[in-house]
Amino acid sequence: GWAMEDVVDEEIKVIKGTVGLEDHVICALSGGVDSTVAATLVHKAIGDRLHCVFVDNGLLRYKERERVMDTFERDLHLPVTCVDATEQFLSKLKGVEDPEMKRKIIGKEFICIFDDFAQDLEKKLGRKPSYLVQGTLYPDVIESCPPPGSGRTHSHTIKSHHNVGGLPKDMKLKLIEPLKLLFKDEVRQMGRILNVPEAFLKRHPFPGPGLAVRVLGDVTQENALDILRQVDEIFIQSIKDAGLYDIIWQAFAVFLPIRSVGVQGDQRTHSHVVSLRAVTSQDGMTADWYPFEHKFLNDVSRKICNSVRGVNRVVLDITSKPPSTIEWE
């Protein structure tokens, strides 16, 4: 609505005033809605003194890098450096099975890459960038600093959440958090005004540690990541085709670190098992598993086993949150 247009104009003015005419600003894009809208807003305010980086950590979904880079460059004209750090991440994760350990390694690696990016930029510009853009939302602000007596627990005590926001503390960058008074639906509204494509604004949330928390155990086992990408893409495409994408909060596949016996053609197989998960939710704090139609499930399961080599069994996760979390790790 027009009120949000005023918010956008006001924010742009504030950012211009804060950054001034000479300082440079950096931003880590995750491919999610929040960092994208925040960066687009800052770009409107200061143009190419904004420098964004997108890190391919090798844990992204099928064609994700191409898809988001396309949106950044073609639709939003954002100045983005894409860093392919697949080898760097996967070599550090090799053999690691503990979920918390995986998250810590990914967070640390991300900081190293971001540090390198900032240093390279400093060499190129002959001056240090002064500001860092973060897509922090109002609920994040409340969550990391719960009002006294609210009874809200810090969700970080349950899992160490990694966002691209977790950045080096010794970097001495001042923060720009243009979304920190907004709720998610307001960020989407702002995105619309800034011409972020509608399909992008409606994308399901995706965790910072990516597919690492959806391959149970060692992410480098067999060709787990490759299998998971194919299965996930079939599942998501089927959900879109059935017109269910927008009513589901999040849907994805999980690679299980076991094999089961099957029969395909006249061959006995001993192959991988994947689980499908889809939930509805308001805010991710609680969630209900989504009751797909029998035919939908049957078609998806067939399609997966017929087209993804190495998978002979598909199971469905029918647990809500609580007692489960949305992700499996």
Annotated binding residue 33: yes
210: left (phi over 0), alpha (psi -120 to 50) or beta: left
* 12 vs 219 by CB, closer to ligand XMP: 219
* 178 vs 208 by CB, closer to ligand XMP: 208
Q: What is the nearest approach in angstroms of ligand XMP to the Cβ of residue 328?
A: 8
Q: What is the nearest approach in angstroms of ligand XMP to the Cβ of residue 92?
A: 17
Taking each helix axis from N to C terminus, what angle separates 184-193 and 33-46, rounded to the nearest 10 degrees? 40
Phi, psi of 149 (to 5 degrees): 75, 5
Q: What is the nearest approach in angstroms of ligand XMP to the Cβ of residue 160?
A: 7
* 26 vs 287 by CB, closer to ligand XMP: 287
Annotated binding residue 31: yes
Q: What is the nearest approach in angstroms of ligand XMP to the Cβ of residue 141?
A: 16
* Cβ atoms of residues 81 and 52 within 8 Å: yes
* Cβ atoms of residues 41 and 178 within 8 Å: yes
* 44 vs 161 by CB, closer to ligand XMP: 161
Q: What is the nearest approach in angstroms of ligand XMP to the Cβ of residue 180?
A: 16
Q: What is the nearest approach in angstroms of ligand XMP to the Cβ of residue 3?
A: 28
* 220 vs 324 by CB, closer to ligand XMP: 324
Give CA–CA dist 209/98, Å, rounded. 13
Q: What residues are paired with 288 via a beta bridge? A: 280
Annotated binding residue 269: no
User: How many CB atoms within 10 Å of residue 301?
Assistant: 19
Residues of this chain that interact with ligand XMP (CB under 6 A) are 103, 159, 161-163, 205, 207-209, 250, 284, 321, 325-327
Annotated binding residue 130: no
Annotated binding residue 36: yes
3-class state of residue 164 by DSSP = coil
* 162 vs 229 by CB, closer to ligand XMP: 162
What is the pairing mode between strands 174-176 and 288-289? unpaired
* 203 vs 259 by CB, closer to ligand XMP: 203
Question: One-letter amino acid identity for 160?
Answer: S
Give CA–CA dist 148/150, Å, rounded. 5
Q: What is the nearest approach in angstroms of ligand XMP to the Cβ of residue 232?
A: 13
Annotated binding residue 32: yes
* Strands of 150-308, DSSP E: 174-176, 250-264, 267-280, 288-289
Give CA–CA dist 105/110, Å, rounded. 8
Phi, psi of 309 (to 5 degrees): -65, 135
Annotated binding residue 35: yes
- Residues at the binding site for ATP are 30-36
